[in-house]
Structure 1
Amino acid sequence: MYFRHSNEMWNEFPDLVPGALFVEGIAAGAILADPIAKFYQIAEERLAASSEGEMPEIQAWRRTFSKMGLKPTQYRCASEALLRRYRQERSLPQLHPLVDLCNAVSIAFAIPIAVFDLAKISGDLEVRHATGKESYLTFAGETEYPEPREVIFADSADRAHARRWTNRQSGLSAVRQDTRSVLIVAEAMHETAGHDVPRLISTLATELAGAWSVDAKTGVLSSSSPRFDL
């Protein structure tokens, strides 16, 4: 199995910097209150300095959403949505230790992070434009069909595991209590993404090793090296 962005995506978004982690041995019983609190504190400090909409990481995604024909204040990248919720509530929902950790890292770095249960993905996973024949399962259990040209995470069975790129993941491959193997993807477009994404990936790998005693396979992708083999 591999993860990649299509050639067309690289041509359209040359500033893209994606990072990926593959890890096995995840369990739902890990206690991560301290590291999560540490990343919340970083987010607190960033939000004290500026609103999420003024952060360069978020501004870059807003420009990207506009380029895709989406209203950036109607469809927000995942990190902006999380930061906004955190600013309003000073907390985030507790879902699963791994998801909670990734959400905390996401708001600390202001970079969207997707986490996929690999048991629910058929074949390879690619970020590409939809053809119109893919299906998407919502968290409510409803089936949607992305419009042609919408940016999605698509597997080999034409199932969309995320819609509008970094806007919304699918309920199908969401992390559950029985999840064991995951692919984690972080993507950024801002000026210092080439420095920040590798740092985010390294940070996550360290936290995963500490919480689950696992060795994550990591990679930072580029147009000349676009494929992450699991």
Structure 2
Amino acid sequence: MAQFKVQPSFWKIFPDVKIAVITVHHLDNHDKGQVPPKMLEEANASVADLIPDEPISANPLIYEWREAFRKFKTKKGARFAVENLLKRAKKGNPVRSIDPLVDVYNAVSLRTGFPIGALDRNKIQGNMQLTVADGGEPFTAIGEDEPDPALAGEVIYRDDAGVTSRCWAWRDAKRVETTDDSTDILIYSECLIPEWRDNHEKAMNELTTNIEKYLGATTQTQYVDRDHPEVTY
């Protein structure tokens, strides 16, 4: 068993955030055609309704997240995890299939706007934290070979070995990346403001239902907030 804990330094900046912490077991992430292609197709098509306004920053979803990112140190160009997916889909460049797990959670993110991060649980070292970086914590992004350590004042997810997600959940570390062979997953998804909580819970229920239905897995969902900042998973 391990701990997932949000540190006081984060709550000082974002006291109203609520985070779903989902554990997935016995996942079959090999593509056997089990995820209906229409799931991702329909999710891509729904983006125009989710963020109808131009410019994109005029949409409340994008505006609230951009305002949040102004409250801590970030890499240049960093945005919340779903913004690039939403922009692509809205411009007619739909998000393509990657693997069953990613397709399932991308479909939920595209339809609802909630960011969803997934790490291979068997690659996580020790306990997980959401915290504010001191600076210099080690990180190498998926698809990169060069280290890119955290900045002082940056919001990060980390385990005992270093950063697992930069700039909140903008980019994930290569060493904890999920693959076709991943069977046990840690998923987290943030609800930024209280007004979105009902929709966030519905989105998480949809996510876990589809993971269980299409990927043969079992799931457990827990939530952390300022009053309950830690769970065992």
Shared fold per TM-score greater than 0.5: yes
Aligned to 1:228: 231
Q: Are 1:128 and 2:142 an aligned pair?
A: no
The one of 108, 113, 118 aligned to 2:116: 113
Q: Are 1:208 and 2:211 an aligned pair?
A: yes
RMSD between aligned residues:
2.0
Residues 176-187 of structure 1 aligned to structure 2 (within 5 Å) = 176-187=179-190
Q: State the AA in 2 paired with 1:58.
A: I
Aligned to 2:104: 101
Q: Is the 1:96–1:175 contact (alpha carbons within 8 Å) kept by the matching residues of 2?
A: no
Aligned to 2:46: 42
C-alpha distance in 2, partners of 1:117/1:16? 24
C-alpha distance in 2, partners of 1:216/1:165? 23
C-alpha distance in 2, partners of 1:99/1:178? 13
C-alpha distance in 1, partners of 2:165/2:99? 19
Q: State the AA in 1 paired with 2:79.
A: R
SS in 2 for 1:132: coil
Q: Are 1:29 and 2:31 an aligned pair?
A: yes
Q: CA deviation at 1:191?
A: 4.5
Count of residues in Structure 1 that have an aligned counterpart in Structure 2: 227
C-alpha distance in 2, partners of 1:168/1:68? 16
Q: Is the 1:79–1:110 contact (alpha carbons within 8 Å) kept by the matching residues of 2?
A: yes
Identity %: 23
Cα deviation per residue 1:94-118 (whole Å; 9 max; x = unaligned)? 2221112211211211121111111
SS in 2 for 1:172: helix
C-alpha distance in 1, partners of 2:40/2:97? 11
Aligned to 2:70: 66
TM-score (norm 2): 0.89
Moved more, 117-126 or 139-148: 139-148
Q: Is the 2:128–2:159 contact (alpha carbons within 8 Å) kept by the matching residues of 1?
A: yes
Residues 8-23 of structure 1 aligned to structure 2 (within 5 Å) = 8-23=9-24
The one of 155, 176, 196 aligned to 2:159: 155
Residues 163-182 of structure 1 aligned to structure 2 (within 5 Å) = 163-182=166-185
- Unaligned 5+ runs, structure 1: none
SS in 2 for 1:225: coil
TM-score (norm 1): 0.90
Cα deviation per residue 1:143-200 (whole Å; 9 max; x = unaligned)? 111122211111012x111111122112221211211111111112135222122111
C-alpha distance in 2, partners of 1:125/1:55? 32
